[in-house]
Structure 1
Amino acid sequence: MTRWLLALLAALSFAPMAQAVDEADLLPIDEAFALTATATERGRIQLHWEIADGYYLYKHRMGAEVLSAGFKVNPLELPDGIAYTDEFFGDVETYRDAVTGVLTGAAADGTTVVELKVKYQGCADLGVCYPPHAKTLRVSLPAAAARAAPADGLDLLGPRGNAVFGASTGGTDALPLPEGEAFRFEAIVDSADQLLLRFTPAPGYYLYRDRSGVEVRGDGVSAGPIGWPPATSHFDEHFGDVQVYFDTVDAPLPLRREHADAVVVTVVATFQGCQTDGICYPPMTREVTLDLPAGGRVALAPAPAGTAPGTTPALWLALLLALGGGVILNLMPCVLPVLSLKALSLAQGGGDRRKARSQALWYTAGVLASFAAVGAAALALRQAGLALGWGFQLQQPGVITALALVMVAIGLSLSGVVAFGATLAGTGQSLAQKSGPAGDFFTGVLAVVVASPCTAPFMGSALAFAFAASPAVAIGVFLALGLGLALPFLLIGFVPALAARLPKPGAWMETFKHLLAFPMYLTAVWLLWVLAKQRGADAIGLALVGVVGLGLGLWLWEKARWKGVAAKTLAALVIALSLWPVVAVQRMPVPVRAEASTDGAVEYSAQRLEQLRRDGRVVFVNMTADWCVSCKANERTVLGRDAFKASLERAGAVYMKGDWTDVDPEITAFLETHKAVGVPLYVVYPRQGEPRVLPTILTQGIVDEALAEAAR
């Protein structure tokens, strides 16, 4: 009966194959895949399948879960299988003859039997696959190891009288400790506005720094950032390169208070850790209730979580800083080429107040929409687990190439090679007017895109506030930045006295338009230089082919304006083909960078920085990127000068540089640690004590003072 039922299920699922198979030739699933389970230790269960000849199991369809409450388990560990291309699942791994999987976990005291639900699926070489199968097993655990006798009078009992078994080695040969003994958490009141936290992993265990956090619950009290000490870089099979603590960690926790009254608070710590070369525990939560005394500094407004007290502005101040930063962006060299276009457009208005207002409003709409889109994208990606900040899109070589092509296209238009928005003779005036708002809106979009490499003063604090605040507040800060960028042209459009100062239209405008093409070409050259840093000479070759193709396509398009559909189709095809390098450079591998440095800097690495700090060295860390205009300006005016080198020598400091031109998770983690929203970031580490973050716009005086203080 079983064979008939199995054959019927297989026939329903895989009817085309089952027609040629005799169901009498199929084994029952428990004979085809004989499963047994054995606990070799209290924290280790082996699942063994004996696979009949002519049958195989899929690796990706195998798994196990624990139904018992007294046993916490890691995912099923399986060996590498045989590579196989399956018509149903594609590229898979399979097992034949036999396979053994391992479940590692931690058994609670008193647990003697573990109930498992094991899932698996396999096929026969005859051409029939069994339906997914689940089997429930009960596994007896060996008795708990006896508590070791105390040596030299030492008591191995924990504070609650529980035996600390296996604590001497902590490796894979030691039985996993209960989570309460493997990881301890304590909190005490240090002052009215600060707590002291202590995390204690047992010997042979480690704690993840970036998977640990604390929440403070109390009336008008919230937690600031944890003052984590330097951690140890460790390669973890679960999360890759991570920062961990193997020993006791003492960390201050500043508090934000809305009132000075005494209050009872609950400290909720969430953290995760592993046994060295052994099991990893699921995230753990501990709570401690504390009586917070009266006093302490009272914040003027609640600050967002994850930012340092005294450095993050209140909402109204963040909006003002963002507005000011946006205004100053107008003076940055990366924005000037686009603003030149806008200036030309306003001059063409000839003092028409109605047209000037329309241009200002459409330009502002383009700026605001773009800032909102960039902000929303960055916030969404950060919410998805990617640490991204201001200018993240410029880490993509495809974006750099596309921007270079846009700049070339605008330059060709200004040079008279092609006229964007021109209309055929006889077209009504209403259609011609529609091109105006679209052009103004696009100019606003372009201004935001090219503003990304620049970081104006005040933007750092405002953006840090945005990335730490709620999404609605964050978008408000981004819109304030946009309003600041658009403000000069809004004033020209709506203040008659300013509009009256615009020059009158005339023959000079044609010459001015031709001259404006050259800043666009120079911007394209700069973008191609950045692309060379990201992907090398081959990428430049591809991009230049795209530039030539784009020029040819636009020239053909202009020639085809008075011709038939075939000529326009050919021109459109050439333009489309010229965009192929945008995709091609994105797929190119990152070239190997030379480690030699001409400015005496050593390449950043978390391990090297930690070693230098242990050695008591002063370290000046410069996080930069080739596309960051503010970074290059600081390097040219301060960091590349002999005075800076002399200041380093006086302080006995090591100059360390991190390159964020491409996506680099290690540098991104460093930026996150210091609550930075992008580059530049300058951090001075003293011989002892906490690091100091310098302003984004440097002067030699700021650097001298910071290094001198760090060397004391």
Structure 2
Amino acid sequence: MPISDTPMPLYRFLLLTFLLFCNTALAQLPLSAGGGAGSLLGGVGSTATFLPVHEAFRYGIVDAQRDRIQLQFDIAPEYYLYRHRLGFELVGGDDSISQVHLPDGKAITDEFFGDVEVYYNSLSVQLDITPGNAPARQLRIEYQGCADAGLCYPPEVQLLDLDSGPGAGASDAGEGADAGAAFWWSALLLFAAGLALTFTPCVLPMVPILTSMVLGRSDIDRSRAFLLSLSYVLGMALTFALVGALIGLFGAALNLQARLQSPWVLITFSVFFVIFALAMFDVFNLRLPAFIRDPVERLGSRTRGGSIPGAAAMGVLSSLVVSPCISAPLAGALVYISTTGDALGGAVQLFALALGMGVPLIIVAMFGNALLPRSGPWLNSVKQAFGFGLLAVAIWLLERIIPGPASLALWSALAAGAAVQLGLFDRQPRQGLGRIAQTAALLLAFYSAATLFGALAGGADPLRPLQGLSVGGGSVMATGSSDYFNRTTDPTELRRQLAEARDQGRPAIVELSADWCISCKIMERDILNQPSVRSAGLDDFIRVQLDVTDNTPAQRAWMTEQQLFGPPAFLFIAGDGKELADLRIQGEVSREVFVRHMQTALGGN
């Protein structure tokens, strides 16, 4: 039974949070299918390192009930699953799958396979079950995926046990350790984000509140100032932690991770992020309603700050009243936490965010206002940088439901706005950092123009915006590589042909290919079928192609023996029959890289 994709797991929400605070969306976006990661406008410049299939696509049963099964795929960054290659079937018993619930995937157009739908990051699947007389014992899943850098994995078929509860059939024993590491990395990232927020007009109003409790009082020494300021910060942090725990708890109950993929939810969140961004640009003030803010402010004015409980209470009240613009970046963290379903994790992560904001406050309270950065235009620049980050997140969310050229046009508009903000049209000459900002503005302007042209040409990849303009060019093709290579589907026949090449003392090249491999088609068209490549040395090899379209047990055993994950791959064999392992190519590469490897192999014979 076929399916569909693209929820948002931990990796994507780590990226989302990072975008909110560091404004680096363009550098982190996933690449489109069949693309490389070598440069902004060009192809891959060297061979890539790929993950084994069980690490690129991790899967497991989240919840198994008699009438419903919840399944989760975690997809590594820059890898994707095909929708049309997904299938599910119950094994044992007489239960049946009545309906498969999947979010929409990302639509891409491949010049070989036409319109296909793929899933990045994660995939949450719900299977509705019609119970029979005997419950099913296993769930059979079929899937196939590829890497953006140019590697297609063979189709996979796995059986998951249904009788061992949540997490049954998890595909990797180290998944728990990886999830733990990712959790602490996200906490560290939020702590760093809190530090960054300190240098904005959001957090600076907390400083006079705190310093008024500890500075200029003869009865408070430095150690006492530390305890009071720590109590203040902990009160603030515990308030944030409570919010994080509640969001994590109720987010799980509402199953937000699946709901976040519906178009209306994505549009709603995008609108919120745009509103938050406008608040960062001072279009309006984002504050608590007066009927909530005023009573809390009056209560805070009567709270004693000279005692540790009083300082903690002031921290709680400050986190509710002061820092209106922190609502924008905080919203991003809350979106992430709501999808994890982890109350404890949500508490720890927002606690880390608040601690990041609080550490500079403690330092100021202990050593005085001299350490406080002076107010000025640069503080507003930092806040506006957050605004651009929020707009980037809004575009990133909309990418899932709007056409690729439309999303590329939005990235063009964002880059243009950032260029203007950095002073692209400023007529007065700048010095020092101002010149760096104007240089960055000029580069963003060029990028904005490139993405706009790419959008008009039907492109969709922000990292390769002009790719659509170059498709169709190139030199005249030679005959097809299937005729040029000795094609076989039997690894035994492959070994026989390689043995003949060894007996003749001739070098050989082995191509691993398949009909379902997009990158194989690209490399055959752009490299193997080019007369210039063939005359540069490819004609001198014994050429053998192993076709693994059927993915038979013998083919899988050979790939395992050779430590290959899937096509395309090229093995260069010396005249003595030994592979030149350093020259092995896995995944899609540029013509220059292929020719360099090929000529190096010939030079060693």
Do the two structures share a fold, i.e. TM-score over 0.5? no
Q: Name the structure where strand makes up a greater proportion of residues.
A: 1
Indicate the structure whose relative CO is greater, using CA pairs within 8 Å and at least 6 residues apart. 2
Q: Give TM-score scaled by structure 1 length.
A: 0.32
